[in-house]
Structure 1
Amino acid sequence: MDLKQKTYLLVTGASRGIGREFAQQLSQRIQSVGSLVVLMGRSQPLLEETKANILKESPDLSVRTFALELSTARAEDFGGIIFESLNHAKAYPRHFQRAVIIHNAGTVGDTSKRAREIGDTVYLQQYYHTNVFSAIALNCQFMRIFGDVPKLVVNLSTLAAIAPISSMAYYCTVKAAREMYFRVLATEESAPGTLVLNYAPGMIDTQMTVQVQREAHDPAVVAMFREQREAKTMLTPPQTTERFIQVLEAQRFKSGDHVDYKDHDAA
């Protein structure tokens, strides 16, 4: 896959962690002149930090930031963001050789509860809206607006999407739902033009894993996270991002595949 093309790149959860690293490293590889990078996240100040980091390396690149709350965002909000970014850049969808979207934003949920204790439907609705419904709605607008422009759709997945993990019933269920949605998307969009990847970045030293280590009800899970962090065997955002780019460049996966950081043959 040639990443050095005139690209529309949209990254959610780009204010910190993996999302920030994905935005920064991918921005260095796409064609600066004519490309457009769109950063979405909760914190406008942190998004501006990501933007500044990108422009430091790629001063000719056009970068737009949009802060919004995913727990209440609607399809119309996402469509408005995409159109506003295009209008600001005085561009139209067919201006780009490829449109790329990285569905990274997500939250881990309440790890202090066992699966049998989950029953608050108000919390569930908000949690699923943030982690599943918003990603589906955004993707719907992205697919509609960019039409027949070649597209790369990436879902930041996890081992928790395909294997149960104690203390993480919330996280496992939303990640499984998201991955299945993108697998169905890949099946339906099987003609050349849309490539879908579910990328599991491995165990990363981020605020999310710190939260799990602090709050999980299962002592074994807490110990696993603590031991990996203390032994410094957790991955860093730059490490998993570099592997992700290697996976893209090699493109040995089929559309819709689940590719883990540890799948060495994929890169």
Structure 2
Amino acid sequence: MEQQQNIFLKKTFVAITGASKGLGRCIALQFAAKFPVNTVFVLMARNEQALENVKSEITSKTPNVTVLVQQYDQGSVGKDYFKDIFNEILSGNNLSENDFEQFMIVHNCATATDGSKRSLELCDSVEVRSNFDINLTGMILLNTSFFQTFSDSKKSRVVVNMSSISGSAPMTCLHLYCAGKAARDMYMRVLAAEEPSIRILTFAPGVVDTDMLKGVERGCTDDAMVAMLKQFREGGKVTLPEIPISKLVEILEANTFENAVFTESDTLF
């Protein structure tokens, strides 16, 4: 494999979805400390005030990067919602594609499943479609919009696909989430085959103490799954977000990963 350069060395336009809390917030904070001066971060999520709070955290610690906030709902997949979203961010902030050496999008936004229902109880088409809109359809449409704006294949382009072991291991209560993660990972594998110049890291952070995990623990009605999650907590296998994201940073620094191949954090059980 051709020797690759540390991804954090280039002035970069970085978009991060689900950046208002949990893993997304941690990604934004740790990446901001690594990228060079005048890198631009676009923090994307539904809760604009929470994004502003993350922005303040970043700018207080790394004032030499620029942080923009973009209110964004990945489940809004109506006509034209994703069209020109990054062109408008550039023009609205007097930026140009030519200002950057590299472009990165981090697909972190996701939602869990109604854990009170089993697979054969999924009979509401709106509920099923809404879950896939957030976990799959919206991600694909945003990814397309990103690369329509940043189309120069001569420049470095990077995708970080936040994945999960649940994309390959069936987990009760998480039917739609498992299916969505599996589909996202395969989409990335196809993208890697079609566009080999794009660096794609599919990364599974493990069992992380986030609001999503707490929601699954509260809502799951499968006794075996509840017992497994309790065992993880009691056994110290549920980590804070900072731990797997530090591993993610190391992987991007080394830049030896194979495109779109599932990569696990050391914290994975």
For the criterion TM > 0.5, the same-fold answer is: yes
Unaligned runs of 5+ residues in structure 1 are none
Percent identical pairs in the alignment equals: 33
- Match in the other structure for 1:12: 17
- Match in the other structure for 1:122: 126
Structure 1 residue corresponding to 2:42, chosen from 38, 44, 61: 38
- Match in the other structure for 1:81: 85
Question: 4+ residue runs of structure 1 moved beyond 6 angstroms?
Answer: none
Residue by residue, what CA displacement relative to the aligned partner does 1:88-131 show, whole Å, maximum 9, x if unpaired?
43221132111010000000111111111112111111111111
Matched, 1:90 2:90: no
- Match in the other structure for 2:239: 235
Give 1:182 shift.
0.8
- Match in the other structure for 1:64: 68
Does structure 2 retain, via aligned residues, the 8 Å contact 1:74–1:134? no
For residues 75 and 62 of structure 1, the distance between their equivalents in structure 2, rounded to whole angstroms, comes to 30
TM-score (norm 1): 0.93
For residues 156 and 248 of structure 2, the distance between their equivalents in structure 1, rounded to whole angstroms, comes to 19
For 1:13, the aligned partner's letter is G
For 2:127, the aligned partner's letter is Y
Structure 2 residue corresponding to 1:158, chosen from 138, 160, 164: 164
Residue by residue, what CA displacement relative to the aligned partner does 1:30-61 show, whole Å, maximum 9, x if unpaired?
1122x210000010110001100110111122
For 1:253, the aligned partner's letter is F
Give 1:71 shift.
1.6
Does structure 1 retain, via aligned residues, the 8 Å contact 2:237–2:267? no
For residues 237 and 187 of structure 2, the distance between their equivalents in structure 1, rounded to whole angstroms, comes to 31
Unaligned runs of 5+ residues in structure 2 are 1-5
- Match in the other structure for 2:3: none
Does structure 2 retain, via aligned residues, the 8 Å contact 1:12–1:41? yes
Residues 26 and 74 of structure 1: CA distance in aligned 2, closer, same or farther (over 3 Å): farther
Does structure 2 retain, via aligned residues, the 8 Å contact 1:153–1:195? yes
For 1:3, the aligned partner's letter is F
Q: Which has the higher contact order (CA 8 A, sep 6+)?
A: 2
Report the more deviating stretch, 2-11 or 220-229. 220-229
- Corresponding residue SS for 1:63: strand
Does structure 2 retain, via aligned residues, the 8 Å contact 1:94–1:146? no
Aligned length: 261
- Corresponding residue SS for 1:76: coil
Does structure 2 retain, via aligned residues, the 8 Å contact 1:240–1:261? yes
- Match in the other structure for 2:136: 132
TM-score (norm 2): 0.92
Give 1:252 shift.
2.5
Q: What root-mean-square deviation, in Å, do the aligned CA atoms of Structure 1 and Structure 2 show? A: 1.7
- Match in the other structure for 1:211: 215
Structure 2 residue corresponding to 1:255, chosen from 252, 259, 265: 259
- Match in the other structure for 1:103: 107
- Corresponding residue SS for 1:9: strand
